Structure 1
Amino acid sequence: MLLRGLRLHGKWCRFSSPITQFLTLTVVTFGVLAPLICHRLLHSYFYLRRWHLNSMSEEFLKQNQEDGQTALRYFEDLRTPNSSEISGDKALRPWLLITIVTVQRRNEFHYVLQVASRFHRLLQQCGPRCQNYQVFICNVEQDPGNHQDARLLGNFFAMVSRYKNWEDPDAAVNQFEKEKRDYAFCMEQSLLAYNPEYILLVEDDAVPEEEIFPVLQHLLLERLSKPHLKDALYLKLYHPERLQHYINPEPMRILEWLGLGMFLGPLLSFVYSWVSGRPSLTWPIVLFFALYSMALAELVGRHYLLELRRLTPVLYNVVPVTECCMPAMVFSASSARRALGYLQEVHCHPGFAKDTALYSLLRIKDERAYVVEPNLVRHVGMFSSLRPNNIPKLL
């Protein structure tokens, strides 16, 4: 059946001009097939926002609430370890300390329990390879006793609280500056308590992907040990999917996009020549298919192409960092100390949050930082502690 279809297509190709064929292919692809296939893909240009956004946002919130209840039951059913198991052997320097920064918000979603339960389960599955990993809870709620989820986690993991009782920070300190100071506090406490080789600072709504530990081991031990990547200030594990398109200010993505066209252009041209019975490739045909494949990749969504890299840690990409968002960041011990010093030099305010502040310091301090693609955490929190929103949307 397939061969018959190809033969029929070949006859049509031989008896019609390439311009007609390419015009037909373009109209069918971008006007019919892609919109039909991709209209529910959240990060595609073909996504029908008016049709799907409200229902998909409601479904996401419902699933998130169910995941929160599952995480709560996970810890309720878990055996409570003794105090020595919780504190761990601090004489043994952890290779990776997973510090979860948490603040009380929206009890019904149990964000921090979702994050902690996933890390706990992944560490159990990882076995001996991850025996030198520790989980550390950093509670920055102003009334720490009111953070019920953090209190529950204190039965299973080592924990530190920034505020002992209800404390009102200096009235002159805005919420953005407070968040920066909370973040710096958790980083400093991680160094003081454990002095690990690496710190993974995770916000309490960043759920790790299943493959996070094998990928981190590969990146930190092999990729980031190379001279041109070594001693970076930080490695970012998440960048918003909506900002992952090729058409962006980052030059590396433009080069990647051109490379995709240079690879798929000749490949699709060869297939076209074989099907149509044309004797050889010509540069206009190669150029058309290069532009065709580049346009299709951008409109469908680069995010979905990046997902193919999850097949193996070797395929993960490490590129120069972008500005927005830091729900999960990896610091070496030395770079964490440098970052602490840098953060003390800046004052955060609306429009200049801690992620922007840290990014702005890279050029000033002649530092380098990188982001891994695809993301190694999922940002599940739709209720921001900085920007209240009672009707959150996925976009």
Structure 2
Amino acid sequence: MVQLPKIMRNIVLILTATSVCILLSILYANNKPFSKVYHLFNSKNDVFKLAKQLNSERLFKAHQYLDGLNKTQQPNYDSRPELAIVIVTVKRKAYDASSLGYVLQSISATHKLFVNDLVFPKKTMMICNVDLHPENYTEIVNLKPFIPVVERYGASSLPITINSSRISMYAKRRYNSKYDKETVDYMYCLESAYSLGASYVLLIEDDALPREDTLKVLKNKILYLKSKNKGRYSFIKLYYPQRWQGYAYESSRILEIISVGCVGAGLAVAIQFITCRTKSYFLQLMYFSCGAWLFVTAALIIGRQNVFEFYRISKYLYSLRNSPGCCTQAMLYTRQFIPALIDFLSVKHKALHTDLAIYNFTNVTGIPAYQIEPNLFYHVGMYTSLSSSDKHKNAEEFIFDP
């Protein structure tokens, strides 16, 4: 039987450890977007100002990188590459578009990833300019000498071919809906990349930035799916809005929080077993319960989005789940199903937004599609290209410095 003083000492120890750990969690999470305490320490106005400041800093770095490129270097092109990387872009008419520089940030980060990558030795990068007046899109015109550019309404610097049945569709200039044009733009860029013979097409919207380990993780997941005889899939979604990635009443996320609790419980019992001579079932149960409660509480304070950051220590900790409907900032498509997807979108694009039409394709055909977690891309598009107003998205999503 455990003596009362020993029990009290352990209770005091547990309470002290709990207080310290919760305090440390709050200190760690106070400047982490999507944590439970973030807005206790940061006002919405301060967050908005910080998001704009960080965007300006990223744009400055992008200019530095692009200005340092060898302007005499010929565009890189591999026939029948394993991977085609495509940035879909249109000139923005949104609020203060000239100073946002989303496309330059995306191109510089993607080009840096492209030239430093070793896991896809045979690959091609191109910009897909879908602006109605490509000659007036000066940011892209200036990049033509050293990055291949394909234009929906102009010339192309790569030998692309388009299905004859869709030539008139791609030549169309007037649309009743801006979302309708967005989907056809997307189809054109996807078909252009497909025509190069690529095994995989990484389609990136012009407000998405890849992380440094993007291609390493992608290669790992491609090989993983092949090893599990799951190579038959339409796409892997590489970005999903962080605001929807928190803990929620979903079975998979409830299991996640239970797993976090089990880790804390096991660690606490191990510490008790090593440090205490008394091997009391009561004490072990007390340590087990407190360890589980402490880790769950810390995870909820920090937020699932920030817990994800610990997963990035290894490419093997990234996970695949069934793809949700939203969104299309960054998608990896397999060559096998690109023609079927384009045919589907050519019929369904007038009824649905692009991301929902693509999601509907997987539902109708039954072809699997995945989403990778944590995200492999950042999203910089606080102002959307589909709006000309000064309205912006939640600034909390754009607090990052890659």
> The TM-score by the shorter chain falls in which range?
0.7 to 0.9
The CA distance in 2 between the partners of 1:313 and 1:322, in whole Å, is: 22
Classify the secondary structure of the residue corresponding to 1:123.
helix
Describe how 1:1-16 pairs up with structure 2 within 5 A: 14=6, 16=8
Aligned position for 1:110: 101
Is 1:358 matched with 2:358? yes
Following superposition, the deviation at residue 327 of structure 1 comes to 0.7
Aligned position for 1:184: 187
Is contact 1:323-1:359 (8 Å) kept? yes
Classify the secondary structure of the residue corresponding to 2:142.
helix
Is contact 2:76-2:124 (8 Å) kept? no
> Residue 47 of structure 1 is aligned with which of 25, 38, 46?
38
The CA distance in 1 between the partners of 2:325 and 2:17, in whole Å, is: 38
The CA distance in 2 between the partners of 1:296 and 1:163, in whole Å, is: 53
The CA distance in 2 between the partners of 1:290 and 1:246, in whole Å, is: 16
TM-score for both structures, normalised by structure 1? 0.83
Is contact 2:86-2:204 (8 Å) kept? yes
Q: Deviations over 1:221-280 (max 9, x none)?
A: x2121345321110011122222223154x333323222222322222332465565423
Measured at CA, do residues 265 and 148 of structure 1 come closer, stay the same or move farther in structure 2, by a change above 3 Å? same
Following superposition, the deviation at residue 62 of structure 1 comes to 2.0
For structure 2, the 5+ residue unaligned runs are 156-170, 397-402
> Residue 206 of structure 2 is aligned with which of 204, 207, 212?
204
Classify the secondary structure of the residue corresponding to 1:160.
strand
Is 1:243 matched with 2:256? no
Q: Which amino acid aligns with 2:86?
A: T
Is contact 2:130-2:185 (8 Å) kept? yes
> Residue 120 of structure 1 is aligned with which of 102, 111, 116?
111
Q: Deviations over 1:279-308 (max 9, x none)?
A: 234546524432432232133112222212
Describe how 1:181-330 pairs up with structure 2 within 5 A: 181-192=184-195, 194-220=196-222, 222-249=223-250, 251-272=251-272, 274-275=274-275, 278-281=278-281, 282-283=284-285, 285-330=287-332
Following superposition, the deviation at residue 23 of structure 1 comes to 6.8
The CA distance in 2 between the partners of 1:284 and 1:169, in whole Å, is: 69
Aligned position for 1:3: none
Following superposition, the deviation at residue 195 of structure 1 comes to 1.5
Aligned position for 2:174: 170
Q: Which amino acid aligns with 1:97?
A: A
Measured at CA, do residues 191 and 54 of structure 1 come closer, stay the same or move farther in structure 2, by a change above 3 Å? same
Measured at CA, do residues 236 and 57 of structure 1 come closer, stay the same or move farther in structure 2, by a change above 3 Å? same
Following superposition, the deviation at residue 331 of structure 1 comes to 0.5
Measured at CA, do residues 33 and 217 of structure 1 come closer, stay the same or move farther in structure 2, by a change above 3 Å? closer
Aligned position for 1:144: 134
Following superposition, the deviation at residue 49 of structure 1 comes to 5.7
Classify the secondary structure of the residue corresponding to 1:229.
coil
- The CA RMSD over aligned residues, in Å, is 3.0
Q: Deviations over 1:340-388 (max 9, x none)?
A: 1222232456xx5222222233222212111112211111121111245
The CA distance in 1 between the partners of 2:214 and 2:186, in whole Å, is: 22
> Residue 65 of structure 1 is aligned with which of 56, 65, 70?
56
The CA distance in 1 between the partners of 2:277 and 2:347, in whole Å, is: 67
Classify the secondary structure of the residue corresponding to 1:245.
coil
Measured at CA, do residues 156 and 17 of structure 1 come closer, stay the same or move farther in structure 2, by a change above 3 Å? same
The CA distance in 1 between the partners of 2:197 and 2:4, in whole Å, is: 69
Classify the secondary structure of the residue corresponding to 2:124.
strand
Q: Deviations over 1:210-229 (max 9, x none)?
A: 11122222222x21213453
The CA distance in 2 between the partners of 1:12 and 1:134, in whole Å, is: 71
Measured at CA, do residues 270 and 124 of structure 1 come closer, stay the same or move farther in structure 2, by a change above 3 Å? same
> Residue 150 of structure 2 is aligned with which of 146, 160, 172?
160
Classify the secondary structure of the residue corresponding to 2:38.
coil
Aligned position for 1:133: 123
Is contact 1:198-1:331 (8 Å) kept? yes
Corresponding residue pairs, total: 372
Q: Deviations over 1:198-218 (max 9, x none)?
A: 000001111111111222222
TM-score for both structures, normalised by structure 2? 0.82
Identity in percent: 28
Q: Which amino acid aligns with 1:93?
A: R
The CA distance in 2 between the partners of 1:358 and 1:368, in whole Å, is: 12
The CA distance in 1 between the partners of 2:360 and 2:172, in whole Å, is: 29
The CA distance in 1 between the partners of 2:191 and 2:353, in whole Å, is: 19
The CA distance in 2 between the partners of 1:334 and 1:154, in whole Å, is: 30
> Looking at both structures, which has the greater relative contact order when contacts are Cα pairs under 8 Å and sequence separation is at least 6?
2
Is contact 2:90-2:130 (8 Å) kept? yes
Aligned position for 1:6: none
